[in-house]
Structure 1
């Protein structure tokens, strides 16, 4: 017992006279019939079980006697919300094989669950939940209760003064999501802005661009592959709406509409051995393995491996995709120290990838319904290779102080033989100008900080101090070839490029971002009112060289970005919140379609104000948010072909979302986003009052699952997506029509010789409708039309051994 910290010795000493009663057969029944008045709000972070129990005992004001040997090496997922004392302890101990034994008034000791019995958790009210559900996922299992918030740690969605949704691994599996682009189809605030059969994936959140390079991996930016992210590596995916600089610092491309964080898979206490065979139309066949094991005393060491191989033709003629992924995750969980590392490699080769369709000033909007063949040349291709790795650590310096940190790196090589598609007239003619394009990237990133929990009188505090660093260098090069003519509606096969007509300049760029952030979450009235105040100092340094000659548009600037959030738990089921967030973005880079190609512009600031409410009815949750985001607007001038800033844009809107299982066997997932987007202060007021391009007024997503009664294991599903019309340009002359997409699916799970088998079938775009799903993004340097995903059949069979 000498190794036990003094904080833990106090309750042991107070209970020393009672330890002789430890053999008593009298145990506390976990009925949770505690008086409502005794319930209060608690915030206990995930970590070692010892630290979690000590913190909860201190907050609840009870004495707890603990034998260190019982809790050594064990972890707890923590808790957040309204609990009674015994109810809270039981949640922290869930799955540990331990329980409380009463030792007198406000005094307990920890003992093993008697052999041959198990601890029953009666229906309780966790954050308003009225039924018995897994404390880590919401009813229905599609959305997680807790999400990763970088600097602020992991929190329950009802304790978060921001709009955030965390999708689970079950959602990924059941929808057969192969890439991040497949998964975001569940969220009305997010839209894909590049064709599903294209070179890369790109998205908008609340109308602003989000690039793959801005997707975090366990809180670290720039580690994941630049162009496409495979979902087989993900345990959870956090989608955060609004600027995220306070949480994770400035992202590589400076996305401000929101952020996405991919949480890697970890080995569980239960062995995992799973194989999935898959097929996608036209003829893509593949397989995936998922293996997880824990070893050592108290299962301290964990190993999780995921591997994928899939190849074959898509629905588009002469298009094929060959992808490979291997990710190994290792972790250690000690009493106070937690370590993890993830190492991955992905390769993706795409023949005839589709590009966005640009529309010349003199041409009308092409008819998407008339595009029935792949307009990409058969010789075009995209090859991406990414190798990445991370190491993360947490250490409980004491029961109230935690140190944490992470480092990551990535090396990537990308080769493309591509051509732009810019429709010149009503007939759909465009010029094929082949371009060989290479991009090599090197990334190094790190973060570290300290988190401290304490009280000043009746006010609780969670203080976070964190530093971050991000470095990326990349080299672009290539060549141009002789042009030819083709047509969007009747593609013409052109000769395979052979002799370059021009070598592109070699462009080398270095980005270095550093930052320091401080925040404090203050809890008033037993943490019913939570106030988060914080700020992040950031330095952004960018330099570039063209053919070894240093450019003149690099910069070295710094800025302090304040942020804050207020959350009030009006009732056990209703949370009201408001926030103010500032985001610093790296300056835009002029696109290849402009006369000032590769010119770098200075960084700029975006500001968001948001007010919202979250209602947790137990089986189903509803959220609502009203937001306004302002930032500078950029465009390529139609006359001068120069890219640069032109006024400001403001997106203000309303988001409504729903998820859960309102009826037994019926699950809902989706929502609505309304956006009013306006341009102001444009040159000579030309576009003032116009709607920002590529921003639909309405996005609607609604998915439903139904467990068929009388047919155990059979589930039917459907999902509808809708976006209203969008303008292509700031003048609001050209626009694309509204569109609707319907997906359907079914799965059937059963057992054969103790092996769990799950068969899944999904059809995307059942009606095979052809439409322009996006006009790009108004803050994107290379806008263009995105063609809809054709009808695609997905089949898979998973065997869990």
Structure 2
């Protein structure tokens, strides 16, 4: 047996559902082929079937909604670019107008507008990570133009992004499985394209204490019918941000090419970023058993002084879509990314106690990820009697090669979050990261959206057969298993502006293997399914949309039974919640973006019943957001905006002993649209955390400090 062979313990007989989905996929492709043949043969062409106007052209963005902050829909993977009133899910799709007016720099700055989403790190920290519906969502699981594995591991600058699209709830059927298997939701970002109007835009920025930057954005369309487009972005910023002595440097260059011809759409994006952060915001943990949360230290200080982070990313993505005829299209995409980060990695030998004391070792954690990601699909529309169908057959593939270097100093020093000690000197030679793992994921998917009763009822059913293959550095398979995820969703429209919906869907994450000291050592578990049940209602009032959703997500967890010593995925965390959302234009010139989330997250099954029934740690019970943007009547072009973000208290630990306090943040801003020397100019000012409130940001057993009062200024000119 070679080192590439799969041991017998890892072999799986095909699951009956796996065989079924492959048969269904074959049937779907055959059906599509018959439809294509029928529609392209000599003779009259079939009349185009429109199923609820569910999608514009595959390559086009959904239109913006009243107020300009939110789009009418977004990209739902195999379900296409679809109006949110026609899908049985809760989605929010943020526009470039919101990104610019809020002076958002990263994805975290944008998704904080949704009460169902919270960030796990603050501005000035290592990177972006999120929590959606009470479950973690890694930055590595953010897709770019619909492809997983291509985002940086730290942050993705928004200067190149047109849309930020959030799907709340598991998205394994629609989007496949991300490299980290996040299940609470998914985030997709869409890169910028050249518009019909030529663009030459220069923006100067200022942030924090002394961080200056500039952003150049140029767009053009060419050709007899403007079918060719190019969009170029360049960014440079450097200087001290919101941590004393901490500097953040970023260089970015990107180019986006696209072609929009008759029946053919193609795009190519190339992006490179290079960043350096000194004194980044620390993330740490509290000592087990303490009953009092230590007071929050000054949020402008780094209590692990001397840290440094270097990160680089190079990404190339190409997509193509072709209309075979009026009802059938094929699409595909492929991308490659090379991402690396070198960082100081202080590690607490003794975690923070109630007085702020801890013991720390210094070290390095350097890593790289090289990822290839691709998808291909066929979408066809037809009728069977009075029922309209939109059938999609698709395949996804991702391969990621990873490596790292990790080492800590032998010496540890005592320190305190209020009076930090210098980190121990490095006492080893820093090595180069070496390959340690390779992850390959591939899947087949089939979905059908049926329109009934004059499009009053839309029913979506689908299956995805997903395989996860994990290998070590030598290529030996450590874990390989498959699972099928279903989707069943329905949208009922009692009126044209009202959608009542329900869905059952599942999220997938790698199962695992029982350890050597368990009674079932070596047993391999299939990818684990997190199940979601959701009902909701959406009402489009014309210039305002309101939404309400009730959901339950059950995520299995690994555990070893204390009596039988059997390792299994018999544990479970169950999150139930209510979400309320309103956005749009209350009246002309007054825009609203508001949401509330009420969470009931429980440890529903645990090993030996320990902590069973307790609140899931790191999940707030209530979160609220209220944002207003107002065009003043007394000064032409002057707009004022404000945003309140509230997160309630939550338990830090599974034992529910240590309770973290809640926090409320107020942000204020203004912008002035005017002309200088005949050129359009926009001046913007934002003040985040106006009261300079210090607070702990907590999730998943780790904590960091929230960002202090931060001033942001920008001047934008089109020339």
CA distance in 2, matches of 1:575, 1:535: 24
Which residue, out of 607, 610, 625, partners 2:549?
A: 625
Does 2:432 align with 1:432? no
CA contact (8 A) 2:239 2:247 kept: yes
Secondary structure at the counterpart of residue 285 of structure 2:
strand
2:444 is the counterpart of 1:520: no
* 1:531 aligned onto 2:455: no
Change (3 A) 1:8 1:768: farther
Q: 1:510 aligns with which of 438, 461, 465?
A: 438
Structure 2 residue 372 is matched with structure 1 residue 444: yes
* Aligned match for 1:467, one of 390, 395, 398: 395
1:579 equivalent to 2:503? Answer yes
Does the CA contact (< 8 Å) of 1:480 and 1:503 recur in 2?
A: no
Deviation, structure 1 residue 688: 1.2
Structure 1 position 47 matched with structure 2 position 57: yes
CA contact (8 A) 2:559 2:606 kept: no
Change (3 A) 1:498 1:376: farther
- Aligned 1:254-403 pairs, distance under 5 A: 254-371=181-298, 374-403=301-330
SS of equivalent residue, structure 1 residue 358: coil
Please give the alpha-carbon distance, in whole angstroms, between the structure 2 residues aligned to 1:589 and 1:196. 37
SS in 2 for 1:172: helix
1:278·1:285 contact (CA, 8 Å) conserved in 2? yes
Residue 726 of structure 1 aligns with which residue? 650
Matched, 1:198 2:125: yes
1:799 paired with 2:706, answer no
Deviation at 1:636, TM superposition (A): 12
Say whether 1:226 aligns with 2:144: no
Stretches of structure 1 that go unaligned for 5 or more consecutive residues are: 14-39, 49-74, 78-134, 591-598, 638-642, 778-782
Deviates more, 1:188-197 or 1:650-659: 188-197
Matches of 2:333 and 2:581, distance apart in 1: 33
Structure-2 change in CA distance of 1:602 and 1:285 (3 Å): farther
Deviation at 1:467, TM superposition (A): 0.3
Write out per-residue CA displacement over residues 424-450 of structure 1, whole angstroms, 9 at most, x where no aligned residue.
433211122111111111100110000
Do the aligned partners of 2:294 and 2:355 also contact (CA within 8 Å) in 1? no
How far apart, CA to CA, are the structure 2 residues paired with 1:477 and 1:328? 32
1:715 aligned counterpart, secondary structure? strand
Q: Distance in 1 between matches of 2:651 and 2:613?
A: 14
1:172 aligns with 2:99: yes
1:476 alignment counterpart: 404
Equivalent position of 2:470 in the other structure:
542
Match status 1:694 vs 2:618: yes
Q: Distance in 1 between matches of 2:690 and 2:42?
A: 61
Distance change in 2, residues 1:76/1:387 (3 Å): closer
Residue 357 of structure 1 deviates from its aligned partner by 2.2
Partner of 2:420: 491
Q: State TM-score, norm by structure 2.
A: 0.88
Question: Could you tell me how far apart the structure 2 residues matched to 1:588 and 1:558 are?
Answer: 12
Output one character per residue of 1:758-796: Cα deviation in whole Å (capped at 9) or x when no partner: 00000110001011122x13xxxxx31121111100000
Whether 1:455 and 2:455 are equivalent positions in the alignment is no
**Match of residue 30 from structure 2:** none
Aligned residue for 1:696, secondary structure, equals coil
Q: What is the aligned partner in structure 2 of residue 241 from structure 1? A: 168
- 8 Å contact kept, 2:482–2:526: no
Task: Please list the CA deviations of residues 548-600 of structure 1 after superposition, one character each: whole Å capped at 9, or x if unmatched.
Answer: 6968xx2110011111110011102211000000111134899xxxxxxxx99
Question: Residues 589 and 600 of structure 1 are in contact (CA less than 8 Å); yes or no, is this contact kept in structure 2?
Answer: yes
Q: Check the 8 A contact 2:538/2:546 in 1, yes or no.
A: yes
Cα distance change on mapping 1:373 and 1:182 into 2, 3 Å: closer
Q: 1:444-464: per-residue Cα shift (whole Å, max 9, x none)?
A: 011000000111111100000
Aligned-residue CA RMSD (Å): 2.7
Count of residue correspondences: 664
Cα gap change, 1:375 to 1:42, in 2 (>3 Å): closer
After the TM superposition, which segments of 4 or more aligned residues of structure 1 sit over 4 Å from their partners? 5-13, 502-507, 548-551, 587-590, 599-602, 634-637, 643-646
Q: Distance in 2 between matches of 1:420 and 1:490?
A: 17
Deviates more, 1:207-216 or 1:628-637: 628-637
Summarize the Cα distance change of 1:188–1:539 in structure 2 as closer, same or farther, 3 Å threshold. Answer: same
Structure-1-length-normalised TM-score:
0.79
> Which protein, 1 or 2, shows the higher relative CO under an 8 Å CA cutoff with sep ≥ 6?
2
Q: Is 1:136–2:63 an aligned residue pair? A: yes
**Structure 1 counterpart of 2:631:** 707
Rounded Cα–Cα distance in structure 2 between residues aligned with 1:601 and 1:12: 48
1:516 is displaced (CA, Å) by 0.2
Contact 1:612 1:624 in 2 (8 A): yes
Rate the CA distance shift 1:756–1:582 in 2: closer, same or farther, 3 A.
Answer: same
Other-structure match for 2:533: 609
Match of residue 679, structure 1, among 581, 590, 603: 603
SS at match of 1:710: coil
Contact in 2 for aligned 1:631/1:649 (Cα 8 Å): yes
Superposed counterparts of 1:647-666, under 5 Å: 647-666=571-590
Could you say what secondary structure the match of 1:462 adopts? strand
Q: How big is the shift at 1:706?
A: 0.9
Unpaired segments ≥5 residues, structure 2: 1-38, 515-522, 562-566
Match of 1:567 in 2: 491
SS in 2 for 1:43: coil
Conserved in 2, the CA contact under 8 Å of 1:430 and 1:485? yes
Contact 2:331 2:378 in 1 (8 A): yes
SS in 1 for 2:296: helix
- The 1:323–1:159 alpha-carbon spacing in structure 2 relative to 1, beyond 3 Å, is same
CA distance in 2, matches of 1:505, 1:156: 45
Rg (Cα) greater in structure: 1
SS in 2 for 1:785: strand
Check whether the contact 2:214–2:236 (CA below 8 A) recurs between aligned residues.
Answer: yes
Q: Which residue of 1 aligns with 2:707?
A: 789
1:736 paired residue among 646, 660, 673: 660
